[in-house]
Amino acid sequence: MGIDRLDEDDEPSVQPDSPMAGRNSPSAADWDGNADFYAERVAYSVEYHHRVDAAYQASWAEALPGLRAAWEEHKRKYPHPERSQPTVDDHGSWHGDGGRELSPARNADLTLGCVEIRKRANDDILPAVRRVEAADSMRHLVGLENWLKGEDRLKEKVADRLRYQPELTTGQALAEVPDAVRFTLAYSESRYAEGVRADVERLKAEGFELIKLKNSWTNDQYKGINSQWRRPESALRFEVQFHTQASFEAKQLTHKAYERLRDPLTSKGEEGELESYQRRVNALIPPVPGAADIENYPPEDRDG
């Protein structure tokens, strides 16, 4: 199923007595000194883009039930065992899903580290990101119920890193987790590109350092922009994702597929179907003018 787009004939009409009536392209004279013409042109543009965005959202909403049903069918075809709950033994060692383990000393260090992350995130990062959000009422934070990664999920990430880099200190491994704190800003399709650029500058103005920005709008299995930030004087990283409402919903819908693709126990046959499912979902995301032109940081090849 495709996404319906308004044709040029569907643009909002202009009143016969309007300064815009009968004009396709305003001249310089129209704009120069004509406040009424300028105000009506702005109102016309806002109305048109709101209608386009509404049409996109209606088509996306219509597609969602079928996509959810397809995922339920995939799970029936490829059942996976339930994740086991982490445990702490009598010696203080932590044991997680997939054979992950942390020694008593590392586990204790991480517990304290998670407390410190929550404090710094609440005292510093969240208020700053809220100020960024308040600067523009045309987009908003979404998914705030998950803005802090849970303690056991952080321990899983650190245990994975230490498995391959045991020479790291616990603090070093924790500092390399990019999304212990994470936010998502959602924009309309028509205002996405300008909104992302403006919010990147607002985050910098709050004193945060941009570590990485990855543009995946040309990727066929994930669409959006992910960025990593930190205070220059701090080792704590946090993530900001930039989405449209549709791309955010697509990310939410395909998250379990993404997790299975990262699971070494997933079969090659299932991997192919997972990738096909992600392509199907992301093919329905409305095109976003200018999104693919936002540059990566540091500069690198785009996802294809």
pLDDT in tens, 34-81: 555 445 544 544 554 555 567 667 777 888 899 999 999 999 999 998
DSSP H helices, the chain, are 28-31, 35-77, 104-120, 126-134, 151-164, 170-175, 192-205, 245-262, 268-283
Kindly state the DSSP code that residue 272 receives in the 8-state scheme: H
Pair 167, 46 in one domain: no
Please give the Cα distance from 184 to 177 (Å, whole number).
Answer: 17
How confident is residue 32, by pLDDT bands cut at 50, 70 and 90?
A: very low
Sequence-distant contacts of 222-226: CB under 8 A, at least 24 apart = 222/251, 222/254, 222/258, 222/278, 222/282, 222/303, 223/247, 223/250, 223/282, 223/285, 224/248, 224/251, 225/196, 225/291, 225/294
- Token digits of residue 290: 């200018």
Pair 153, 271 in one domain: yes
Question: Does the residue 92 lie in any domain?
Answer: yes
* Domain total in the chain: 2
Pair 47, 162 in one domain: no
Among the three residues 66, 95, 110, which one is the final residue of a domain in this structure? Answer: 66
Q: Output the domain CATH number for residue 254.
A: 3.30.460.10
β-pairing, 101-102 vs 225-230, is unpaired
Residue 37, classed as helix, strand or coil, is helix
How confident is residue 282, by pLDDT bands cut at 50, 70 and 90?
A: very high
pTM: 0.79
> Helix 268-283 to helix 245-262 angle, to the nearest 10 degrees?
180
With contact defined as beta carbons under 8 Å apart, do 24 and 44 qualify?
no
pLDDT digits (tens, 9 = 90+) for 190-216: 999 999 999 999 999 999 999 999 999
> Helix 35-77 to helix 268-283 angle, to the nearest 10 degrees?
160
Pair 90, 209 in one domain: yes
Q: Taking Cα atoms as reference points, which of 178, 259, 175, 196 lies closest to residue 222?
A: 259
Pair 174, 269 in one domain: yes
pLDDT digits (tens, 9 = 90+) for 73-119: 999 999 998 888 999 999 999 999 889 999 999 999 999 999 999 99
Among the three residues 41, 66, 91, which one is the final residue of a domain in this structure? Answer: 66
Average pLDDT, the chain: 84
With contact defined as beta carbons under 8 Å apart, do 34 and 27 qualify?
no
Dihedral angle, C-alpha 58, 64, 67, 69, nearest 10 °: -140
Question: Does the residue 3 lie in any domain?
Answer: no
Domain of residue 276, residue span = 81-293
Pair 232, 139 in one domain: yes
